[in-house]
Chain A
Amino acid sequence: MNRRLLAIGLVLASAGLLLVLLAIDLGSWHAAMVRGDVRFAADPGGRYPWAARTVLPFGAGERVLGVHDDVAYRQGVRLFRIGRPRVAQPRDAAVRARSLAQTVLTHASRGDADLPRRSAEANLLGSLFLAGNAGTTDPAARGDFLVAANAEYAAAVALDPENDDAKYNLELTLVRRRAQLFTDRGSGTTPGALGRGAGLGKTGHGY
């Protein structure tokens, strides 16, 4: 009987210890998120700021708290920022950050249950493709980037119709696509075959 009680006590004590460790991990994650957001705001290009020191293995605290998608979104924004999307010819480190941002945001935008945040992720992805469009002189690649950006912005608007950034970007890519189509049509045709506008007809024989 005493042995049975001892065994039950041991099991309960182990469970209690496990719960205490889990509580410590949850506290660590909460602190890491709050502290990380402050650090990121102060130094966006600095070291990864959302690292939590946990005790339990296999990311148990992260799973229980369900912060994986929050962390992925933050990591996507951070890498997007490090990728310097406004720079047309980025350095290697920025190119790698953009590539990683693309991977992180692609996965995050597929599985995120929070629709407005998913829309924001698609919007950032579109902007990465738009940055690619600005960084190449190859007309075919420019076209591909615009199409990809357009698709992401359209998805972002569909996910959250109140996402004004995505709406603005969608309009921008549509205008650029029209302009590019016009440019391609102009440069890809033979002289004199552009249309019937003034000064565009074939040279006549006249008198």
Chain B
Amino acid sequence: MRRPTAIPLAGDGPLRSTIRRTAVIRVVLAATLVALLVTEVALARAVQPRRDVFVPNGSDTVVVVDLSASIPPGAFPTIARVLGQLTHDDVPIGFVIFSDTPYELLPPGTPSRELAPFLRFFTPKPGTHPKTVWDAKFVANPWQQDFRGGTHISAALALADSILRRDRVRRGAILLLSDLEAPSEDVPALTSIVNRLRDEHRPLRVVGLFPNHDSLGLFEQLLGPQAFVNASKAVTLDFRSQTALSAISTPTGMIAAGLGLLLVLAWNEGWLVRLPIPARLRAREVEQ
């Protein structure tokens, strides 16, 4: 379709400032549109569901698992699901378990598929078909006899932090799986280590293993609600159908950029549209 030719003006003096203003607005709007479009694409590319649920993208994460006496076997499937997801994602991890004392099972940088041998300790015995997680039977694990005692979370986090520093991991993060039952005498040390992790810009994420209200409140106060990965609500025994634990958070930035894009487009269409010249007038001009 051919665009109608513009009507030549004899003198554009009175319109010059309007033309300049329109040109400036047009350029600004075009630049804003391009910027918003680029932002939208960049934000869309950054949204990577699943992988970002437990561990920050591109990080080397130390997985810290609480095996104290207060962790019921009913919480084992949650542990299995988190470890299974990490095994599937094949990301670099470290592995620490703790009760009264923590110890390092795998150093940072280990491929997460190395977690696979540990899964059997947290998975119900093969051939059993329990109705709920609380009826499930598990194979004996090496920690159940002598290792399981109190919950010393501060020592476990301090160990995770120290091994990340020992191995000079630049983008280190910590994923804590615990019932968060920190005794009151551990809270000052816990507060200190959490403050230190925050100062070091080291992300700490938490999967609560059926924490009680008070423990949850303390950790929410220490870390903020965004640190929690909600796995406890998704406990089922069907691992094949439940590989993903938690949905990604709402991409608010992307939504905002999209709305901005629509707004600027609407503004562009409303203000800078060509003046419609009726066909009757155009025909008269051609005749003249």
Which A residues form the contact surface with B (CB < 8 A)? 89-90, 92, 95-96, 98-100, 102-103, 106-107, 128-129, 132, 135-136, 138, 141, 144-145, 148
Contact = CB atoms under 8 A, between A and B. Distances in A.
A182 B137 CA distance: 50
B169 interface: no
Interface string B191-225: 11011000000000000000000100110011000
Contacts of A141: 185-186, 189
A101 B256 CA distance: 36
B188 A132 contact: yes
A135 B184 contact: yes
Contacts of B217: 92, 96
Among A102, A106, A128, A148, the one with the most B-chain Cβ atoms within 10 Å of its Cβ is A102
B187 interface: yes
Given A102-B192, A103-B195, A136 B221 contact: no
Interface of B: 184-192, 194-195, 214, 217-218, 221-222
Q: Which of A90, A95, A100, A129 has most B Cβ within 10 Å? A: A95
B184 A102 contact: no
Contacts of B186: 141
Contact of A100 (B189, B192, B214, B221): B221
Max chain A Cβ within 10 angstroms of own Cβ: one of B190, B191, B192:
B191
Contact of B187 (A95, A138, A144): A95
A130 B20 CA distance: 72
Contacts of B195: 102-103, 106-107
Nearest to A129: B188
23 contacts: A92-B217, A92-B218, A95-B184, A96-B217, A98-B187, A98-B188, A99-B188, A99-B190, A99-B221, A102-B191, A102-B195, A107-B195, A128-B188, A132-B185, A132-B187, A132-B189, A136-B185, A141-B185, A141-B186, A141-B189, A144-B189, A145-B188, A148-B192
Contacts of B194: 103
Nearest to B218: A96
A136 B217 CA distance: 22
A98 B187 CA distance: 9
